Amino acid sequence: MLLIGTNDLGWLGRSVEETAAGVEAVVDALRPSRILLLALFPRGEKPDDPLRAKIRDVNERLAKIRDVRYLDLGPLFLRTDGTISAELMPDFLHLSDKGYRVWADAVREPLAELLR
């Protein structure tokens, strides 16, 4: 299971293209392993946070990577109005214990399928 890239966009300030290319390079390095590639999780409390559009663009590129199982769990962390639940991500970036449980529950079956 691979979840990488959010720090490239935020902390390192890399572009969408650089971030997606970096993720793809890691995927290529891991081949021929079976890979569950997770979309970048949303960050920033509100849907209009500048990083949300970049995350969406990166995820669109990641979804096109061939020969991986791609899974977007982002909607699980969002309320119906698009804001991030502070109960799941108290700082709107890092998961709480409850957020990690949501993540674990969501990947349990896809991982089991991949390992069969």
What are the pLDDT digits (tens) for 10-24?
Answer: 888 899 999 999 999
Decide if 31 contacts 66 (C-beta within 8 A): no
> How far does CA 70 lie from the centroid of its chain?
10
Q: Is 96 helix (H, G, I), strand (E, B) or coil?
A: coil
Domains of the chain, start order: 6-115 (3.40.50.1110)
State the pLDDT at residue 42. 97
* β-strand pairing of 36-38 with 69-71: parallel
Return d(Cα 54, Cα 59) in angstroms, integer.
9
Rounded to 10 deg, the angle between the 50-62 and 16-30 helix axes is 40
Residue 86 has pLDDT above 90, yes or no: yes
When pLDDT is cut at 50, 70 and 90, the band that residue 90 belongs to is very high
**pLDDT more than 70, % of the chain:** 100
- pTM given for the model: 0.93
**pLDDT more than 90, % of the chain:** 93
